[in-house]
């Protein structure tokens, strides 16, 4: 400041200062006025399984239950493939479309962009029930592929979607052919070329198991053409194993490729750019029935059990799980496993069947830890399957251990709303993990070990980070003033 006065005189200095203040407050005002959605710069991709509208009672989820402020991207799941026309089609015209007095789900979701300009909305094609065979047929034929690319572009634009999410589960698998691997690259390439004419997003759900990755995906090639790869880091274990296992373990034994960490590290090793990888998080658990104690690896019946809302064997939504666990007379107990960041919940033994019911799932703490992992790996962000099984009505008590594995927080941030505890955890944990990462990157001087510590190491690193960013701010103010003078 002193130098500035000497060069430009007090008048010029004051004028510059008020200019600067106007600039700073103007920017702040603009960002306050226009800002909707998460405040961090990572992606939060929210799948909505739109058939959730048919669930009974408080399990029913409609687009009006969606909270656009908690996600950067929404994905409408699913549309289907009409192989006879090489075309995308609605799987539920009454829910999806407005025609013939339909409920217009596509446009109700994309309409949220008017009040929430940050939000990007994609349409997903595929899903487990669509199988693989018809997709395999489509991509094998260049004419059919070309027709599909044009038609799907028109379809996506007609309903005001921002893009398409490919959910073919999976190329080369479940009735697909070995050629799917290269044909899938061709499909993504041709979609990319067409989508670039309209600024549309192209993403894909990607299987997380090593076997599927090896056979289905030419990772460097598809990563060239896709904006984001949504890695489905769940269903590692389930009732089909006929023994109890973790749905989405963070880690596994060294030789075991069935873990979140293995999937992500493997994709990075194969050449996926971290900035295009999106870590998938399950808002559900896998269920088991066993006559043993109910520990991991105990033999189980191969079917599991179902919940009152989702009504699918072997599957329980987080909202169904937290409802059981917050019932003090239900007799369930939980165990946290630190190595995998998973929770195992068990019922008391049923006196008639002698069974113990077990569910392995992601609690808020699991979600927070996986967000931290994604941030550390410098991924684009996280994806959730799916928002409709979060505790979207806020019926359960919030978890108290959510940030136990974070260094820079002692207590969880206060929330104005109790609903969507898992989605809120994602957004809080993203900001907290970014702060931790920034604190870690501050170079602590070597003689710091000789200082008398004031507060924890984390506190010192934190204040160092603040000082560094303050320093950056001051130096950029000087740079600005300097450039204004010339």
Ligand X SMILES: *[C@@H]1O[C@H](CO)[C@@H](O)[C@H](O)[C@H]1NC(C)=O
Active-site annotation, residues:
169
In the region spanning residues 248 to 277, those forming contacts with ligand X, defined by CB under 6 A, are none
* Interface residue with ligand X, options 18, 34, 56, 84 (CB under 6 A): 84
Closest distance to ligand X from the beta carbon of 324 (Å): 8
Q: Which is nearer to ligand X, 70 or 396 (CB)?
A: 396
Find the shortest distance in angstroms from Cβ 327 to ligand X.
4
Contacts of 94 (CB under 8 A, 6+ apart): 100, 102, 103
Q: Which of 31, 36, 330, 475 binds ligand X (CB under 6 A)?
A: 330
Which part of the chain contacts ligand X (CB under 6 A), choosing from 203-211, 311-319, 326-334, 410-418?
A: 326-334
CB closer to ligand X out of 143 and 329: 329
Stretch that binds ligand X, among 70-78, 239-247, 264-272, 324-332 (CB under 6 A): 324-332
351 scored as a contact of ligand X (CB under 6 A): no
Q: Closer to ligand X by CB, 329 or 354: give it.
A: 329
Q: Please, what is the minimum distance in Å from the beta carbon of residue 368 to ligand X?
A: 27
Q: How is residue 114 written in tokens? A: 């008017």
Q: What x-and-dash track marks residues 106-145 binding ligand X by CB under 6 A?
A: ------------------------xx--x-----------
Q: How far is the CB of 56 from ligand X (least distance, A)?
A: 14
Q: Pick the closer one to ligand X by CB: 197 or 329.
A: 329
Nearer to ligand X, 134 or 340 (CB): 134
- Nearest to ligand X of 79, 267 (CB atom): 79
- Residue 83 engages ligand X in binding (rule: CB under 6 A): yes
**190 forms part of the interface with ligand X (CB under 6 A):** no
CB 49 within 8 A of CB 77: yes
- Calpha distance 401→338 (Å, rounded): 12
Q: How long is the chain?
A: 486
329 in contact with ligand X (CB under 6 A): yes
Gap between the Cα atoms of 392 and 183, Å rounded: 39
Nearer to ligand X, 25 or 330 (CB): 330
Q: Given the rule CB under 6 A, which of 116-124, 228-236, 305-313, 323-331 is the region that contacts ligand X? A: 323-331
Size of the site for ligand X (CB under 6 A): 8
Q: How far is the CB of 46 from ligand X (least distance, A)?
A: 25
**Shortest CB 462 distance to ligand X, Å:** 43
Nearer to ligand X, 329 or 483 (CB): 329
* Span interacting with ligand X, options 120-128, 209-217, 307-315, 327-335, rule CB under 6 A: 327-335
CA atoms within 13 A of residue 73's CA, in its CB half-sphere: 29
Shortest reach from residue 216's CB to ligand X, in Å: 18
333 binds ligand X per the rule CB under 6 A: no
Least CB distance from residue 179 to ligand X, whole Å? Answer: 18
Give the per-residue contact string, 279-318, with ligand X (x = CB under 6 A; - = no): ----------------------------------------
What are the residues binding ligand X (CB under 6 A)?
A: 83-84, 130-131, 134, 327, 329-330
């Amino acid at each position: 400041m002193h130098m500035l006065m000497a060069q430009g005189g007090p008048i010029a200095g004051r004028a510059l200062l008020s200019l600067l203040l106007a600039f700073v407050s103007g920017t702040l005002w603009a960002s306050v006025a226009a800002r909707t959605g998460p405040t961090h710069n990572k992606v939060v991709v929210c799948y909505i399984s739109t058939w959730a509208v048919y669930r009974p009672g408080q399990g029913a989820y409609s687009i009006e239950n969606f909270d656009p402020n908690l996600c950067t991207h929404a994905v409408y799941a699913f549309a289907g493939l009409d192989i006879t026309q090489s075309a995308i089609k609605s799987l539920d015209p009454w829910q999806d479309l407005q025609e013939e007095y339909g409920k217009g789900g596509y446009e109700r979701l994309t309409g949220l962009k008017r009040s929430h300009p940050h939000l990007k909305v994609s349409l997903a094609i595929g899903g487990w029930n669509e199988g693989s065979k018809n997709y395999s047929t489509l991509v094998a034929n260049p004419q059919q592929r070309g027709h599909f690319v044009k038609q799907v572009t028109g379809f996506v634009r007609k309903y005001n979607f921002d893009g398409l999410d490919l959910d073919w589960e999976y190329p080369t698998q479940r009735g697909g052919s070995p050629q799917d691997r290269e044909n899938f690259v061709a499909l993504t390439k041709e979609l990319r070329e067409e989508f670039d004419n309209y600024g549309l997003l192209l993403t894909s759900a990607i299987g997380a198991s090593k076997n599927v990755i090896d056979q289905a995906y030419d990772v460097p090639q598809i990563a060239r053409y896709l904006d984001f790869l949504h890695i489905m880091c769940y269903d590692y274990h389930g009732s089909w194993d006929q023994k109890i296992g973790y749905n989405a373990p963070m880690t596994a034994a060294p030789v075991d490729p069935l873990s979140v960490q293995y999937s992500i590290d493997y994709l990075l090793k194969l050449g996926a750019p971290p900035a295009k990888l999106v870590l998938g998080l399950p808002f559900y658990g896998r269920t088991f029935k066993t006559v043993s104690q109910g520990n991991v690896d105990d033999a189980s019946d191969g079917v599991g059990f179902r919940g009152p809302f989702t009504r699918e064997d072997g599957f329980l939504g987080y909202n169904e799980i937290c409802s059981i666990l917050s019932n003090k007379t239900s007799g369930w107990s939980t165990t946290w496993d630190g190595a995998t960041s998973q929770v195992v919940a068990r019922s008391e033994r049923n006196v008639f069947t002698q069974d113990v019911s077990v569910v392995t799932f992601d609690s808020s703490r699991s979600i927070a830890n996986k967000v931290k992992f994604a941030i550390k790996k410098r991924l684009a962000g996280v994806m959730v399957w799916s928002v409709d099984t979060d505790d979207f009505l806020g019926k359960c008590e919030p978890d108290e251990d959510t940030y136990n594995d974070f260094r820079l927080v002692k207590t969880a941030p206060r929330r104005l709303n109790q609903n969507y505890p898992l989605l809120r955890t994602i957004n809080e944990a993203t900001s907290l993990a970014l702060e931790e990462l920034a604190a870690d990157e501050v170079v602590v001087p070597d003689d710091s070990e000789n200082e008398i510590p004031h507060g924890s190491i984390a506190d010192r690193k934190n204040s160092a980070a603040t000082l560094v960013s303050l320093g950056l701010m001051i130096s950029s103010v000087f740079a600005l003033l300097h450039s204004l003078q010339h």
